[in-house]
């Protein structure tokens, strides 16, 4: 179905930035109708709780870090300067760091450098906001044209900054407390009421909300009473230069020292109940119980570090593997740089992503761009990223037996990985960050145009 995967009937990708409750692109096409398009020169990008310079896959660093880095780089390529404000986590950090030409990272002192969990950060938002305002006060008037905040903590800083500077606020939730709480993994901790209240306030305050998928936009409307006319859908992207099939599976396995003929289901991501790597291990146990002969050619890499509630029991997955009799098959590796991560994707027979909640699923998109099919939970944005039975398989629910059946398809038919992987690589080519940046810029301009009209209307009303 065309609406399911974002493709029109011709097979070409349809325009991806559109207002959830509006027209095709939702922006009034001011440039097509002869009106002036608002000029965005410099954006303040806010990421309080995690730095774009952190290694994805551990701590609180994950898909959002990748999102901010790649989006900022592409915006800079379009001629827009981006300054990213994030909390300093070490006294050794320089006040500023250049991420890329046109992209500056500013480290803000707010609370102790180390030992603060994400749950403790709300108490530091005043200090963080003060640091942002101090930097702004040292610049000329009108220095920033727009604020783009990421995650609810940043949204509160962005709300105050945008009001003080008289510029639009564009906010991206990335995850939502009400959505996460509705699909908690066993043993996971619910998001607190304070976050729910904070998110509700940001939804009402933002000039525009950016959702990764139409499903996420619908959740914003359903759970937070978001205005559909101010909610835009922009799919995240994939770095298609880094994540590509390259020289193939055999070469990637040789570089990583993996057996050339093994069946390798891969998990890559943060090790926490939300991401459900335990389901993969339980599924492998069921697979072996059904066919013990697979053991001689099976290897299960788990690439990533503890995060979130997983930090409380960092050895949980290793202990589970031992308890299930899989200690000799499970290969635990810490987070790796993206160039090496691409090799892990290429080396895998299939990526397994049994998450309880995903706003989009960048890991699945990256793996597919490398030519690797995906077995994923049919949650959040994953049905947009993974085309069921074409680039992989979507699983309803989190029963390990269902994942074991999907794994058995690949184990029994080695050619399936190649066939679905080729389709996956083609599908992923529609998710370039250049398109994401162009669509995001359209959202920025729409927010600026709406604010300009509102000011003009207020002026007429006072006459």
Whether 299 contacts 258, CB under 8 Å: yes
What average pLDDT does this structure show over 148-167? 96
Whether 206 contacts 407, CB under 8 Å: no
Q: What is the pLDDT of residues 306-350, one digit of tens each?
A: 866 555 566 889 999 999 999 999 999 999 999 999 999 999 999
pLDDT score at 306:
82
Determine whether the annotation assigns residue 346 to a binding site.
yes
The model's pTM is 0.85
Asked whether residue 452 carries a pLDDT value surpassing 90, the answer given is: no
Dig out the tokens for 277 from the structure.
Answer: 């790597």
Determine whether the annotation assigns residue 235 to a binding site.
no
Determine whether the annotation assigns residue 61 to a binding site.
yes
Pick the closest to residue 372 from 354, 396, 352, 395 (CA basis). 352
Asked if the domains 2-31+39-237+432-449 and 249-428 are classified in one and the same CATH topology, the answer is: yes
Determine whether the annotation assigns residue 118 to a binding site.
yes
Determine whether the annotation assigns residue 358 to a binding site.
yes
Whether 62 contacts 353, CB under 8 Å: no
Q: Domain-by-domain residue ranges, the chain?
A: 2-31+39-237+432-449, 249-428
Determine whether the annotation assigns residue 62 to a binding site.
yes
Determine whether the annotation assigns residue 231 to a binding site.
no
Determine whether the annotation assigns residue 270 to a binding site.
yes
Task: Give the torsion through C-alpha atoms of 201, 204, 206, 209, to 10 deg.
Answer: 100
Determine whether the annotation assigns residue 64 to a binding site.
yes
Determine whether the annotation assigns residue 74 to a binding site.
no
Percent of residues, the chain, with pLDDT higher than 90: 73
pLDDT score at 20:
63
Determine whether the annotation assigns residue 413 to a binding site.
no
Determine whether the annotation assigns residue 134 to a binding site.
no
Q: Which CATH number among 3.20.20.60, 3.40.50.2000, 3.40.190.10, 3.40.30.10 corresponds to the domain 249-428?
A: 3.40.50.2000
Asked whether residue 212 carries a pLDDT value surpassing 90, the answer given is: yes
What average pLDDT does this structure show over 369-375? 98
What average pLDDT does this structure show over 437-452? 95
Instruction: Determine whether domain 2-31+39-237+432-449 maps to CATH 3.40.50.2000.
Output: yes
Question: Mapping DSSP to helix (H, G, I), strand (E, B) and coil, where does residue 250 land?
Answer: helix
């Amino acid at each position: 179905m065309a609406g399911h995967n974002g493709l029109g009937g011709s097979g070409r990708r349809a325009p991806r930035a559109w207002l959830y409750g509006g027209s095709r692109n939702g922006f009034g096409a001011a440039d097509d109708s002869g009106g002036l398009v608002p000029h965005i020169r410099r954006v303040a990008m806010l990421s309080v709780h995690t730095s774009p310079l952190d290694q994805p896959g551990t701590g609180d660093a994950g898909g959002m870090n990748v999102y901010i880095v790649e989006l900022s780089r592409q915006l800079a390529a379009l001629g827009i300067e981006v300054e990213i404000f994030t909390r300093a986590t070490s006294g050794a950090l320089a006040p500023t760091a250049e991420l890329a030409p046109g992209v500056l990272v500013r480290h803000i002192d707010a609370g102790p450098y180390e030992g603060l969990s994400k749950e403790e950060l709300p108490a530091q938002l005043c200090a963080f906001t003060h640091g942002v305002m101090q930097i702004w006060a040292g610049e000329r008037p009108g220095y920033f044209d727009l604020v783009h905040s990421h995650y609810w903590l940043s949204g509160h800083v962005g709300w105050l900054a945008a009001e003080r500077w008289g510029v639009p606020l564009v906010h991206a939730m990335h995850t939502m407390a009400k959505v996460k709480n509705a699909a908690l993994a066993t043993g996971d901790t619910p998001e607190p009421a304070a976050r729910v209240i904070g998110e509700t306030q940001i939804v009402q305050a933002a000039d525009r909300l950016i959702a990764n998928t139409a499903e996420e936009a619908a959740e914003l409307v359903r759970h937070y009473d978001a205005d559909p006319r101010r909610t835009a859908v922009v799919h995240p992207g994939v770095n298609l230069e880094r994540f590509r099939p390259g020289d193939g599976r055999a070469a990637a396995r040789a570089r990583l020292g993996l057996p050339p003929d093994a069946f390798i289901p891969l998990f890559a991501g943060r090790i926490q109940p939300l991401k459900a790597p335990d389901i993969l291990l339980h599924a492998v146990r069921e697979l072996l119980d059904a066919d013990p002969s697979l053991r001689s050619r099976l290897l299960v890499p788990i690439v990533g570090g503890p995060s979130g509630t997983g930090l409380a029991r960092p050895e949980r997955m290793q202990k589970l593997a031992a308890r299930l009799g899989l200690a000799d098959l499970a290969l635990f590796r810490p987070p790796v740089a993206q160039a090496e991560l691409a090799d892990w994707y290429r080396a895998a027979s299939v990526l397994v992503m049994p998450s309880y909640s995903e706003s989009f699923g960048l890991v699945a998109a990256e793996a597919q761009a490398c030519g690797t099919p995906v077995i994923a939970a049919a949650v959040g944005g994953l049905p947009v990223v993974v085309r069921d039975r074409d680039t992989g398989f979507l699983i309803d629910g989190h029963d390990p037996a269902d994942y074991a059946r999907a794994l058995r398809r690949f184990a029994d038919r080695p050619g399936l990985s190649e066939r679905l992987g080729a389709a996956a690589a083609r599908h992923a080519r529609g998710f370039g960050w250049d398109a994401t940046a162009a669509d995001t810029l359209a959202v920025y301009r729409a927010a600026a145009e709406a604010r300009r009209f509102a000011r003009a209307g207020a002026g007429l009303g006072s006459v």
